Structure 1
Amino acid sequence: MANIEIYTTPTCPYCHAAKALLNEKGAKYTEITVLDPGLREKMTQRANGRRTVPQIFIGETHVGGYDDMAALDRAGGLDPLLAQ
């Protein structure tokens, strides 16, 4: 499986939904909580200026947020990405 990193905050419902979808897929991921301003800045730079959470990276691919990942899953593109 691909290396997955998800930037989150503890109270974000979209973060919880993204983690639930990844869990359903049996995907292991690294969660990075961005309460620290330095970590959020790193996330923002890596996510091409996007400051909202979650921001999801699968391998070298920036998937985006939960809505982006859910749309990718509906289109049949998430499983192949996870299998890298």
Structure 2
Amino acid sequence: MTAPVNPQVLMYSTAVCPYCTMAERLLKSKGVEEIEKVRVDLDPAVREAMMAKTGRRTVPQIYIGDTHVGGFDDLSALDRAGKLDELLHPEA
């Protein structure tokens, strides 16, 4: 039996974003071991791509698998609603 594969987590962020840090802390507390971080403060083209993809200009912008969760407030609301675990661990 193989271990369940959890969806990839992608987070657009900047170096000095307290909400990015809080989002990362929340995800790690839920058992997420790896977060692919895309720094939008290093290249304006990356921020433009993030805005085109998400329709938002603020960070963090978080994807769990193919699902655009949104920012930290959205992530936190999902957790409070009891739906974050379902997204992170669909096999459970």
> TM-score, normalising length from structure 2?
0.86
The answer as to 2:67 corresponding to 1:52 is: no
Q: Distance in 1 between matches of 2:29 and 2:84?
A: 12
Q: Distance in 2 between matches of 1:3 and 1:66?
A: 17
Find runs of 4+ consecutive structure 1 residues off by over 2 angstroms. Answer: none
Q: Distance in 2 between matches of 1:32 and 1:69?
A: 17
Match of 2:39 in 1: 33
| Root-mean-square deviation over aligned CA pairs | 0.8
Deviations 1:9-30 (A, max 9, x none): 0111101100110111121210
Residue 78 (structure 1) aligned to one of 66, 70, 84 = 84
Task: Calculate percent identity across the aligned residue pairs.
Answer: 53
Greater radius of gyration (CA): 2
Residue 8 (structure 1) aligned to one of 6, 13, 19 = 13
Q: Distance in 1 between matches of 2:53 and 2:89?
A: 22
Runs of 5+ unmatched residues, structure 2 = 1-5
- What displacement does 1:7 show? 0.4
> TM-score, normalising length from structure 1?
0.94
Runs of 5+ unmatched residues, structure 1 = none
Q: Distance in 1 between matches of 2:68 and 2:52?
A: 12
- What displacement does 1:77 show? 0.5
Match of 1:20 in 2: 25
Count of matched residue pairs: 83
